[in-house]
């Protein structure tokens, strides 16, 4: 029995190996932590269909949703060793690998949604996307993850002062932690899969995310206040293992990138629709939607912009601000 327990991790490793050939078909394993109704999963499913089309069936993507193969951090580590081909991550945890990506977690960097996408589609965005190659994590595309805002269980948040003393769940991002502290809250990193229970049991008083994630996670069942202060616009990034990418032929790389680019357009359409529907649904379920004076929140975190001087993110901030 001990012998088989020792072999089990080996069997699991080979069962999720990033890229393999089956009957002349190249199979890419893709895993993420979101549920199958999320716009990101639907867009990845669309990408898989487009890749099968462009490659005339010679390439296939097998998708493992809902954290089946691990947390976001664990999936990134699997990519780094080539045991998983692709994953979806928020750009916030990526700052641990690419320091300049800290810029996405800094509040109120972008003027509006149009400015945000102008940056992502510019040389600025493209350079950030592939900067992770040095740590074997190549970005293929950005997905829309909307604007992140605060939601709370028992206390409505109208101004930054209302966050004083509240334990707010954040992603494992130093900048996200710094932001919540700047607003006066107590930042508490907790994995996404554990957050519902943490809200329910009072481990945290609230969290921050976009409307579709707030709805699809069912956090609205526990948190009855959603404050649309829209402090950050943190894109999702579709990553591929550099090992796996290098193992593809130039033609296969072209097919995959084309399928990804097509899925970006599809995902943005899904996201806009999902955002509108999510807000309407949670409000109908009894959630109070609060639209605060965002200038109060902006003033509270201006020091975070100033503190970027001397960091890789400061150069990126200047380029973003100068982009017309």
State residue 1's pLDDT score: 43
Q: What is the 3-state secondary structure (H, E, C) of 268-322?
A: HHHHHHHHHHHHHHHHHCCCEEECCCHHHHHHHCHHHHHCCCCCHHHHHHHHHHH
Q: What predicted TM-score, i.e. pTM, was given to this entire model?
A: 0.85
Spell 15-36 as b/e; 16+ CB within 10 A means b: ebebbeeeeeebbbbbbbbbee
Regarding whether 93 and 208 lie in a shared domain, the answer is no
CATH classification at residue 18: 3.40.190.170
Regarding whether 190 and 312 lie in a shared domain, the answer is yes
CA dist list (Å): 259 to 26, 115, 227 = 15, 25, 36
Tokens 């979806």, located at residue: 88
Regarding whether 220 and 76 lie in a shared domain, the answer is no
Regarding whether 165 and 242 lie in a shared domain, the answer is no
Regarding whether 217 and 116 lie in a shared domain, the answer is no
Q: What is the pLDDT of residues 186-201, one digit of tens each?
A: 999 998 889 999 999 9
Regarding whether 229 and 127 lie in a shared domain, the answer is no
Confidence class for position 228, pLDDT limits 50, 70, 90: very high
Regarding whether 127 and 168 lie in a shared domain, the answer is no
Q: What is the pLDDT of residues 93-135, one digit of tens each?
A: 888 889 999 999 899 999 999 999 999 999 999 999 999 999 9
% of the chain with per-residue pLDDT over 70: 95
Regarding whether 32 and 99 lie in a shared domain, the answer is yes
Which helix (H) or strand (E) element contains residue 212? Answer: helix 211-216
Regarding whether 167 and 190 lie in a shared domain, the answer is yes
In whole angstroms, give the CA distance from residue 70 to residue 33. Answer: 8
Regarding whether 256 and 157 lie in a shared domain, the answer is no
Q: What is the pLDDT of residues 288-305, one digit of tens each?
A: 999 999 999 999 999 999
Domain that holds residue 219: 148-233+278-322
Regarding whether 257 and 206 lie in a shared domain, the answer is no
Regarding whether 13 and 139 lie in a shared domain, the answer is yes
Q: What is the pLDDT of residues 258-286, one digit of tens each?
A: 999 999 999 999 999 999 999 999 999 99
> What average pLDDT does the segment 61-85 reach?
95
Q: What is the mean pLDDT of the chain?
A: 92
How many domains are there within the chain? Answer: 2
Q: What is the pLDDT of residues 154-179, one digit of tens each?
A: 999 999 999 999 999 998 888 889 99
12 has pLDDT over 70? no
């Amino acid at each position: 029995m001990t012998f088989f327990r020792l072999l089990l991790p080996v069997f699991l490793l080979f069962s999720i190996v990033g890229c393999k050939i089956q009957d002349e078909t190249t199979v890419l394993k893709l895993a993420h932590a979101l549920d199958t109704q999320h716009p990101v999963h639907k867009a990845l499913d669309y990408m898989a269909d487009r890749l099968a089309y462009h490659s005339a069936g010679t390439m296939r993507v097998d998708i493992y949703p809902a954290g089946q193969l691990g947390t976001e951090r664990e999936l990134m580590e699997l990519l780094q060793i080539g045991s998983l081909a692709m994953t979806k991550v928020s750009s916030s945890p990526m700052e641990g690998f690419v320091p300049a990506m800290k810029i996405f977690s800094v509040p109120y960097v972008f003027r509006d949604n149009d400015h945000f996408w102008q940056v992502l589609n510019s040389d600025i965005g493209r350079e950030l996307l592939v900067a992770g190659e040095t740590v074997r994590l190549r970005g293929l595309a950005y997905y829309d993850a909307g604007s992140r805002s605060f939601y709370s269980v028992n206390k409505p948040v109208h101004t930054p002062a209302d966050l004083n003393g509240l334990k707010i769940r954040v992603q494992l991002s130093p900048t996200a932690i710094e932001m919540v502290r700047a607003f006066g809250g107590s930042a508490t990193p907790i994995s996404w899969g554990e957050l519902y229970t943490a809200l329910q049991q009072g481990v945290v008083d609230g969290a921050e995310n976009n409307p579709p994630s707030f709805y699809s996670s069912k956090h609205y069942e526990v948190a009855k206040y959603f404050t649309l202060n829209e402090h950050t616009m943190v894109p999702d990034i579709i990553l591929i293992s550099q090992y796996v990418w290098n193992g593809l032929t130039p033609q296969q790389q072209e097919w995959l990138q084309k399928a990804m680019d097509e899925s970006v357009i599809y995902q943005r359409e899904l996201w806009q629709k999902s955002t509108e529907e999510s807000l309407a649904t949670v409000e109908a379920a009894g959630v109070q939607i609060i639209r605060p004076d965002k200038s109060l929140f902006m003033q509270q975190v201006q020091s975070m912009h100033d503190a970027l001087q001397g960091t890789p993110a400061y150069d990126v901030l200047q380029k973003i601000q100068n982009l017309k």
